[in-house]
Amino acid sequence: MTRGRPASVPRTTASAAEPRAALAGDSDGFSDSDDARPLRILAEYLQPLYRFRQEHVHDTVVFFGSSRITPEGPLRRYYDEARELARRLTEWSNTLPGDRRFVVCSGGGSGIMEAANRGAADAGGRTIGLNIGLPDEQRPNPYITPGLSFEFRYFFMRKLWFSHLARALVVFPGGFGTLDELMELLTLTQTRKLDRDIPILLYGASYWDEIIDFEAMVRHGVIDRADLQLFSFADDPETALRILRARLPAGPERVTPAFARSRVSSEGGTP
């Protein structure tokens, strides 16, 4: 028997027409499954963080308010004044040194959110939209800077990005969503959970005095009178901008984005 070289095994070449295997981690609908929920939550932290670093966004001023307020409706003055305030704020922030400071940020939808993004765009500034996927499909408004429009699955991750980059909060008249976001930030400020000062400005004193009876809360003992100092009121863009400029830190900071640390108890722990 003669020994020789083994016969070569024919090589197969994949045809371009043959379907490729699904990427690991994205096959069989895994990425949308219950088991992958922790990965989706983590992605809603890491992807915005990556984009903010890429775009050199340092911190934000957040505008909240109703999606139902339109330029033609009965509350149109609030749309016009949100747009004007966002424009003036952006013109001022554009003069500050360092990475992009006090970038106007909204929930990314219509109404007051649109007005805020539109005003920042009027001033030639970058502006952020943190949208949320809803059954009725809230669509991003057209004034958000390309690359700074995000859609979240989870309200709590969206709230994290509202609160942890915010240097100030401006709250225009709004409904349940606006109240939810306002109370979230008031609670974080009252409990001093975030390791930074976040001025909260309620725009439209007559609306807020009618909607929330803060004095009654003091009278019933559920908040302290000192808690009324956690927020202030404004009724025109000039006053609002003056308050913001007096409270916002104009000096440069080290880290971009400037993600707020969480305070922990004196017993220790990791923020």
Which CATH number fits the domain that encloses residue 90? 3.40.50.450
pTM, 2 dp: 0.86
Give the position of tokens 């901008």.
241
The token duo for 200 is 């909260």
DSSP string for residues in 200-234:
EEEE-HHHHHHH--HHHHHHTTSS-GGGGGGEEEE
Residue 267 forms part of a structural domain? no
Q: Structural domain tally of the chain? A: 1
Residue 235 maps to a domain: yes
Tokens of 15: 């045809």
Two structure tokens written together for 141: 């408004």
3-state helix, strand, coil in the chain (%, to 5): 40, 15, 45
* Contact status, residue 214 vs residue 106, Cβ threshold 8 Å: no
Within a domain: 218: yes
Does a structural domain hold residue 97?
A: yes
In a domain, 203, yes or no: yes
Are 148 and 129 in contact, with CB atoms under 8 Å apart? yes
Q: Smallest Cα–Cα separation from 201: which of 63, 59, 12?
A: 63
Residue partners of 193: CB distance under 8 A and separation at least 6:
187, 262, 263
Whether 257 is in a domain gets the answer no
- Can you tell me the distance from the alpha carbon of 198 to that of 51, in angstroms, rounded to the nearest whole number? 23
Q: Which domain holds residue 113?
A: 39-246
Contact 113, 158 (CB under 8 A): no
CA separation for the pair 167, 158 (Å, rounded): 16
Per-residue pLDDT in tens (0 to 9) along the chain, 271 residues: 555 555 555 555 555 556 666 556 666 778 888 888 999 999 999 999 999 999 999 899 999 999 999 999 999 999 999 999 999 999 999 998 877 889 999 999 999 999 999 999 999 999 999 999 888 767 899 999 999 999 999 999 999 999 989 999 999 999 999 999 999 999 999 999 988 889 999 999 999 999 999 999 999 999 999 999 999 999 999 999 999 999 998 776 667 788 788 887 655 454 5
Question: Peptide bond preceding 257: is omega within 30 degrees of 0, i.e. cis?
Answer: yes
CA-CA distance, 59 to 69, in Å (whole number)? 26
Is position 34 within any domain? Answer: no
Which parts of the chain fold into alpha helices (H)? 37-54, 76-93, 112-122, 155-165, 176-190, 205-211, 214-219, 237-247
Asked whether residue 125 is assigned to any structural domain, the reply reads: yes
